[in-house]
Chain A
Amino acid sequence: MANKLISEIPLPKSIANVFSARNISTAKDALTLTEFELMELLDVGLTEVRSALSQISEIVAPPYQTALSLMEQRFQNEHLGGHFPTGLKGLDAALCGGIPFGVLTELIGPAGIGKTQFCLKLSLLASLPTNYGGLDGRVIYIDVESKFSSRRLLEIGLRSFPEIFQMKEMAQEMAGRILVLRPTSLAEFTQSLEQIKVSLLQKQVKMLVIDSMAALVSGEHEQGARRQQTLSWHISFIKSLAEFSRIPVVVTNQVRSRNHEDASRYSFQVQSRDGAIGTTMQYDSHLVAALGIQWAHAVTTRLVLEAKSGERFIKVAKSPISPPLAFPFHITSSGISLLSDDGKEVMGPEINAIHCQGHNEIINFGMEGLH
């Protein structure tokens, strides 16, 4: 809508001509200038500029919907009101049905904790027919670190849904719905994304998995501001892709050590001499999410996978609908499963902390089965 041509908008002839004479061809060009700039540029009076802008704005502005009609639309047209059940009952209950459609869901955790395992399980589930809880469609799996193991995928399938996967044709059909892309650089990834956006709907893609987002950037640039700039475009592109296609998008992220650039306090917190504020920081975890705070704002749901005293937990760290709960999980031959469906409520910013205690970090790519 932003690139709507001025020529297509019903403006009075005189001003439309002036717009094109001054090379203001899209609505975006016209709306980014202030009223006075336009007056100077087009050499017309204020009233004409105002009326032209209001006409352009009316056309470019998106239509509204009442929240009620939005809800009804989602419940009528979409699977479970716009949620994709993960098969982990406690998590699905907390997330009001499952992973939400149309927005980004992030899986973050230290290496070897089970993010890829979770992604494999989700991809498998999405390919299944709806009576098995799936989305009955294709899955695009962008595998940046070459962690995708089809043997492991089929093992999960066989253990979780033996009735389907014991039949070779069915196994082939399901596995055939998962398309794996292996971009070797950020540029290739960008290209793949653009291609995906074009063919998403006609190819009946029902889920997009990016494993992992952080790996794409870590090889390319140094830390800090430059990396943020590179990702800005991708963040908004992936979000708009998710939005317009209304599919769940799962992205994995890595962790890194906290460094001096990671701020955690505001200026008014530092200034205060009150002992309660600022000095008692609960952040004893030395690990923080990679990709920075801009990315953290862009994801709608953040699931933190961590290890504490040898036990693994999946925590709902950020979600518009779920309270901050932690569920213990483990990884078996049939994929990831919860040890308890009753989540433990976590107080305070602890829900965002990422722990890595008592966890064996040996990662073996070649070995199928458990990490």
Chain B
Amino acid sequence: MEIWRLPISASQRGKLISAGYTSLSSLSSISSSDLARELKVSESEAMNILKVASHSRGSETSNASCSIVEVLDTFQWWAGAQSAWDMLHDEESLMHITTSSADLDNILGGGIHCKEVTEIGGVPGIGKTQLGIQVAVNVQIPNDFGGLGGKAIYIDTEGSFMVERAFQIAEACIEDMSEYNRFLRKDFQECKIKMLPQDILENIFYFRICSYTEQIALINYLDKFLSEHKDVKVIVVDSVTFHFRQDFDDMALRTRVLSGMALKLMNLAKRFSLAVVLLNQVTTKHTEASFQLALALGDSWSHTCTNRIVLYWNGNERYAYIDKSPSLRSASAAYSVTARGIRNSSSSCKRIKMM
């Protein structure tokens, strides 16, 4: 019953079926005026239904008279499908955003991946917001220095974004770039980068969200915003959890809303080739006989993000652990939060642990 799959209203579907049209092919030879008469709807509605039906039909499997060679050459049976070989090319040219900690970048395969959604969670005070701000600054590193030269969207749901801290991190980033420049040029002259911390702050679009409705609305609106600001290369949501931990009595609704949101973000990441970083909080979970820490928002949410990184304390060090990733190995690396932002851990016995 292919009629079920048409994106038309329920009553139109009902009328089609009761009039005997159950498959798309049955609609292929009827004119809009006849259809309007049979269904007792207006002619423009009937035309709309036929248009939707022919559109769906066009993207369906082509008939079997295609030769094998043609089929292998053009994998365009289904709109949007891509062969794995073509995808390999895309994956190899994938862009990353550095975290400013070489160890962390290493286990991440170069940095935070564009075109993917990465969830980062941890206990309070471990450095989630710090990492979020670092990424929002690092995305702006110009192409000459191996960066993306893009802008950032920072969606703040808790008010943790401290603009003075962003300034500090931006300043340190520029100093590091000048240092690198000087090193590269080898002439030891003061190679001042023309960027100022203020310029970096100007390229961070800050949104303050006060309820989950605003969060949903903003993510819907980002579609339009991003078409107008095509140079945005990262969206940081700090934190995605806050408004969903209170207010919701209906957990099923919460799961539906969250997964809808995650899908939209994934869609945005793919369409606009940008990175989405979601910061998550932590909760206690009762498993087997003990209580353990786990990222908040439940089990269904844990399936929705592509990559999941957990920030935790290990002894006296801050560590990041790749909990889930389709392409990276489970590994953990130490990092530290300094006055200049996220950097490599300074302890001498740091090692990257492969799990």
Contact = CB atoms under 8 A, between A and B. Distances in A.
Given A39-B9, A46-B7, A67 B220 contact: no
Contacts of B317: 348
A193 to B, nearest CB: 15
Interface stretch (A118-126, A202-210, A316-324): A316-324
Interface stretch (B63-71, B84-92, B141-149, B281-289): B281-289
Interface stretch (A140-148, A215-223, A265-273): A265-273
B292 A1 contact: no
Contact of A293 (B12, B123, B330): B123
A56 interface: yes
Contacts of A280: 315
A102 B159 contact: yes
A263 B159 contact: no
Given A31-B217, A70-B206, A267 B162 contact: no
Contacts of B202: 66-69
Secondary structure dominating the interface of B = mixed
A350 interface: yes
A1 B214 contact: yes
Contact of B218 (A57, A69, A260): A57
B23 to A, nearest CB: 20
Chain A CB within 10 A, most for which of B216, B245, B316: B216
B217 A67 contact: no
A76 interface: no
B282 A27 contact: no
B243 A236 contact: yes
A282 interface: yes
Interface in A171-227: none
Given A45-B48, A54-B223, A277-B314, A321 B165 contact: yes
B292 A263 contact: yes
A168 interface: no
A179 B291 CA distance: 42
B7 A45 contact: yes
Given A67-B166, A67-B204, A103-B160, A262 B291 contact: yes
A1 B217 CA distance: 10
A318 B160 CA distance: 11
B159 A67 contact: no
A62 B312 contact: no
A71 B204 CA distance: 12
B159 A321 contact: no
A242 to B, nearest CB: 8
Interface string A60-78: 1111111111110010000
A31 B315 contact: no
Given A54-B224, A232-B246, A67 B123 contact: no
B292 A270 contact: yes
Secondary structure dominating the interface of A = helix
Contacts of A351: 125
Size category, B interface: 35 or more
Contact of B310 (A235, A236, A266, A298): A266
Chain A CB within 10 A, most for which of B129, B287, B293: B293
B99 to A, nearest CB: 17
A321 B125 CA distance: 11
A64 B294 CA distance: 32
A344 B149 CA distance: 39
B335 interface: no
Contact of B206 (A67, A260, A299): A67
Nearest to B313: A349
Interface in B238-290: 239, 241-243, 245-247, 253, 256-257, 260, 281-285, 287, 290
Contacts of A70: 163, 206
B183 interface: no
A232 B245 contact: yes
A352 interface: yes
B131 to A, nearest CB: 12
Interface in A275-299: 276-277, 280, 282, 293-294, 296-299
Interface string B123-140: 111000110000000000
Given A268-B330, A270-B292, 6 more contacts: A2-B214, A32-B257, A61-B220, A96-B162, A348-B313, A350-B316
24 contacts: A1-B210, A1-B211, A32-B216, A39-B9, A57-B217, A59-B217, A60-B214, A61-B207, A64-B207, A66-B202, A67-B163, A67-B166, A103-B160, A236-B243, A236-B247, A243-B210, A263-B290, A274-B353, A293-B281, A294-B245, A294-B283, A297-B282, A299-B124, A318-B124
Top 6 closest A-B pairs, CB basis? A348-B316, A57-B220, A2-B213, A232-B246, A46-B7, A60-B217
